[in-house]
Copies of this chain bind each other. A is one copy, B any other.
Amino acid sequence: MSLTVVGTMAFDEIETPFGKSGKIIGGSATYIAWAASNFVQPINQVSVIGEDFPKAELDALTAKGVALDGVQVKKGEKSFYWSGKYHMDMNTRDSLATELNVLADFKPVIPESYQGSEFLILGNLTPQVQMSVLDQMKERPRLIVMDTMNFWMEVALDDLLKVLKRVDVLMVNDGEARQLSGEYSLVKAARKILEMGPKYLIIKKGEHGALLFFENHVFFAPAMPLDEVYDPTGAGDTFAGGFIGHLAKTKDISFENMKTAIIVGSAMASFCVEKFGTERIREVSKGEIAARIEQFVQLVNFDIDLV
């Protein structure tokens, strides 16, 4: 089994300047699985849901090669729920409601069938939960990628720093990189964070693209300029799913291949924002993905022969 995904499976209710989503499926592990399953199957999903989580969604994931042995279903409980409203610029949002429900005492259990996974991605969860997953892996995966958020830097920094020492790739956004490092310059921030444990750091800048730092190297991938960003929810997780999916497919964890993986992740994220929630990424075809990646090549490709 090659890729294990740990994160939330949840309900979201989203309002953007373009409309309201109603109650739809969300969650970091959901987005990661939908994106990554285009590149590698099976995917070993680790999450927790309530009795209210629709069977149709679980069936759809199963059909995409997502194993659900590690997804706990809590009888008589409700799934994690988040609602939020985006501002006109789509870069900022207000959380309207956050109901942890089943997430409040989530204790992930890694099924025996998931052991031996070569790739592991830890979606944004409490550092304690992330650590518990690492502790349960009998054999260290070849590559461990983690996401986190500013909230854990504020309430669980010590635990977060412990997890950081055990992962290979950290993914954060620009604000989080600044908060974690205390440096405004992203170059200086990256230098400090790479001393905290991870060998690779990805700084996501939303519509402004993403940076990959490794030793003294830096790689930049733009976001695809789009007519409209309809809903940015899940774009970061979709990016993560495309990134780890490409690496798990190619089994090549060199810096060079991570660059390509970042482009793949950016391509997947560019689909995600075109519709509400997972709507676009659950229908996207391999042909569309290949065409979008080719658009990225055109977007950044230039002739270096300067005469």
Q: Mark A226-252, 1 if CB is under 8 A from B, else 0.
A: 111100000000000000001001100
- The minimal Cβ–Cβ distance linking A205 to chain B, given in whole angstroms, is 7
Contact B219 A303 (CB under 8 A): no
Q: Which of B225, B259, B306 contacts A302 (CB 8 A)?
A: B259
Contact B227 A188 (CB under 8 A): yes
Q: Within 8 Å of chain B (Cβ to Cβ): is A116?
A: no
Residues of B within 8 A of A221 (CB): 300, 302
Q: Which of B88, B219, B227, B306 contacts A299 (CB 8 A)?
A: B219
Known contacts A249-B307, A260-B303, A187 near B218 by CB under 8 Å: no
Contact A250 B299 (CB under 8 A): no
Residues of B within 8 A of A307 (CB): 249-250
Contact A217 B303 (CB under 8 A): no
Of chain B, the residue at the smallest CB distance from A90 is B184
Q: Mark A281-307, 1 if CB is under 8 A from B, else 0.
A: 000000000100110011111111011
Q: Which of B188, B205, B219, B264 contacts A306 (CB 8 A)?
A: B264
Q: Within 8 Å of chain B (Cβ to Cβ): is A20?
A: no
Contact B186 A211 (CB under 8 A): no
Report the separation of the CA atoms of residues A302 and B88 in the bound assembly, to the nearest whole angstrom.
33
Report the separation of the CA atoms of residues A218 and B222 in the bound assembly, to the nearest whole angstrom.
12
Report the separation of the CA atoms of residues A223 and B164 in the bound assembly, to the nearest whole angstrom.
29
Q: Within 8 Å of chain B (Cβ to Cβ): is A111?
A: no
Name A residues whose Cβ lies closer than 8 Å to a Cβ of B: 88-89, 184-188, 205, 208-209, 211, 217-222, 225-229, 246, 249-250, 256-257, 259-260, 262-264, 290, 293-294, 297-304, 306-307
